[in-house]
Amino acid sequence: MSFPRYPEYKDGGVEWLGEVPGHWELVRYKNVFDEKTSIAGTSHPPGSISFGRVIFKDGEFLHEPTRASYQEVLSGEFLINPINLNYDLKSLRTALSEIDTCVSPAYIVLTAKVATDKNYMKYQLHVFDLFHMKTLGAGVRQTIAFGDIGVCFTCLPPLPEQTLIAAFLDRETTKIDALVGEQRRLMAMLKEKRQAVISHAVTRGLNRDAPMKPSGIEWLGDVPEHWEITKIGYVANVSRGTGYQNVEEIQEGDDAIPMIRISDFNDFAPVWVRNSSSLDVYKVDSNDILIAGTGASAGITMRVTKEMSHMIHSYNAPRIRCQKIDPQFLHYVLNSHGIEQQEALLFSGSAQPFLDLHSISKLELPYCSIVEQIEIVDYLNEQVDMYDALASEAQRAIDLLQERRTALISAAVTGQIDVRAIA
């Protein structure tokens, strides 16, 4: 859909603005906002910015001295997260608060010093955040202050026009957000169906007419009559990786070897450590599965690929080396509903979830012949590929919708479209 443009434009004076409508006013942010004097020790519940919204957060684990240092943010005030701009480029760091809360003193709290439409300024700061604010700041944590923001130029349409633009963007972004929500629900449904297919195949087999028998395990229920129940320790060997105190992190080179950590399960970027013969015992191969043994990711697994063979694994990512079971079959079993229920019972440690080697070894699982395991793996590979392809299509749709949302907001608040003709 194409939108009309304004009849006349002028140079916005800064690259991120480009040309702006001729009747819009170029001002510095310090002439639009005041930085609110920090008011500490308020009774409001703690909050924070989460992707462009101010939300309440769990304050149960806040120490009282920390809680006492938090500053007040009231509904209708603006909040900016000014730290680590170079560390996290995805988060949205500006928001118009819709709640009364208190936040870390590291945040910048702003109040409007001139008559503006707050909803319009919310969108305006959003575009400033995306296209310019992340280029500001200095130091290791690339932190900015209000002074850095205040000297930056922005453009302001007349107040009635601000209100029209905000109403237009509310309407259009609501439509886009609804479409994104549909795609997210589709992805959740696909994930649930994918999980159900895996769980059914590794606990019931592929033959719907096979005679069944009680497994003797509550979460498992009935299994095919010719199947057995075993434990991971009977069909695989479980071992710890190396600890950080035993390796030296270095740059990639002839004497370096990659080390797989829990963080690599979702975003594979292993660190390089100095290689030595003492690390040979920690090398992985394509018959191995790694399992996250601690933290929020405890219980999550990763199949070792051929490309990862001969890397080493870290202490908190124990290795399961398959001996009497197909690695792909075991990986599917470890990702079934039943195993997840067992893991919840096996977590130990008071500070955070922790799976020790004994706990992993005694996880119970259904077991059939290698021939049947491979048949199940072939079937599941086909099914999983289908669900993953559908999920990828849904994610691509979400990405395109979010790109359109960002482009629409940017065009409206910088005057590239004239909403007066369509609002």
pLDDT digits (tens, 9 = 90+) for 255-272: 899 999 998 998 898 999
In the block, residue with structure tokens 């079937």: 379
Query: Per the domain annotation, does 389 fall within a domain?
Result: no
Encoded amino acid at 278, one letter: S
Confidence of residue 241 (pLDDT cuts 50, 70, 90): very high
Which residue did the predictor score with more confidence, 246 or 329? 329
Q: Tell me the HSE value of 174 on the side-chain side, using a 13 A CA sphere.
A: 6
233 and 357, same domain (yes or no): yes
Mean pLDDT for the chain overall: 89
pLDDT of residue 404: 95
Same domain for 210 and 330: yes
Answer yes or no: do 220 and 322 share one domain. Answer: yes
Predicted local distance difference test score (pLDDT) of residue 63: 75
Read off the pLDDT of residues 374-404 as tens digits, 9 standing for 90 and up. 999 999 999 999 999 999 999 999 999 999 9
Q: How confident is the model at residue 150 (pLDDT cuts 50, 70, 90)?
A: very high
Cβ neighbours of residue 344 under 8 Å, at least 6 residues apart?
none
317 in any annotated domain: yes
Residues 225 and 356 in one domain: yes
How many distinct structural domains can be found in the chain? 2
Average pLDDT over residues 417-423: 84
In terms of domains, do 137 and 234 share one? no
For the segment 285-311, what is each residue's pLDDT rounded down to a tens digit? 988 999 988 877 778 899 999 999 889
Q: What is the pLDDT of residue 92?
A: 82
Query: Three-class SS of residue 212?
Result: strand
Give the angle subtended at the CA of 224 by the CAs of 386 and 379, to the nearest 5°.
20
- For the cut 90, the answer to whether the pLDDT of residue 75 exceeds it is yes
Residues 150 and 219 in one domain: no
Domain-ending residue, one of 114, 132, 156: 156
Q: Name the amino acid, one letter, at 259.
A: M
The predicted pLDDT at position 335 comes to 87
* C-alpha span between 328 and 335 (Å, rounded): 11
Mean pLDDT, residues 209-222: 90
Is position 260 within any domain?
yes
- Same domain flag for 32 and 136: yes
CATH number of the domain bearing residue 101: 3.90.220.20
307 in any annotated domain: yes
**Domain boundary residue among 139, 156, 173?**
156
Strand 256-260 versus strand 312-313 pairing type? parallel
Residue 148 domain-assigned?
yes
Q: How far apart are alpha carbons 336 and 319 in whole angstroms?
A: 19
Q: Are both 148 and 248 inside the same structural domain?
A: no
> Looking at residues 343-371, what average pLDDT do you find?
76
- Which tokens is 154 given? 């922005």
Looking at the fold, whether 323 and 235 belong to one and the same domain comes out as yes
Residue 210 tokens read as 């096979």
- Indicate the burial class of 200 (C-beta count within 10 angstroms; 0-12, 13-18, 19 or more): middle
> In the predicted model, is pLDDT for residue 59 greater than 70?
no
Residue that is last in its domain, among 328, 344, 367:
367
Q: Please check whether residues 215 and 351 belong to one and the same domain.
A: yes
Report the sign of the C-alpha dihedral through residues 253, 140, 260, 358, in that order.
positive
Is the predicted pLDDT of residue 207 greater than 60, yes or no?
A: yes
Highest mean pLDDT among 124-128, 145-149, 348-352, 374-378: 374-378
Indicate the pLDDT class of residue 339, thresholds 50, 70 and 90: low
How confident is the model at residue 65, as a pLDDT? 74
Task: Look at residue 337 in the predicted model and tell me its pLDDT.
Answer: 78
Claim to verify: residue 227 and residue 328 sit in the same structural domain: yes
In a domain, 1, yes or no: no
Please tell me whether residue 365 adopts helix, strand or coil conformation: strand
Give the closest residue to 301 by CA, choosing from 279, 276, 330. Answer: 330
* pLDDT bucket at 82, cuts 50 / 70 / 90: confident
Shared-domain flag, residues 212 and 360: yes
Give the pLDDT of residue 166.
97
Contact assessment for residue 37 and residue 105, using Cβ atoms and an 8 Å cutoff: no
User: Would 68 be classed as within a structural domain?
Assistant: yes
> What is the pLDDT, as a whole number, of residue 60?
57
Q: 276-289 burial, b if ≥16 CB within 10 A, otherwise e?
A: eeebeebebeebbb
- Domain assignment of residue 220, yes or no: yes
Short-list 313, 290, 320, CA closest to 241: 313
**Residue 408, H or E segment:** helix 370-413
pLDDT at residue 344 is higher than 60? no
Query: What range defines the domain where residue 283 resides?
Result: 206-367
Least confident span in 87-101, 117-131, 301-315, 336-350: 336-350
CA distance 321 to 331: 11
pLDDT score, position 154: 92
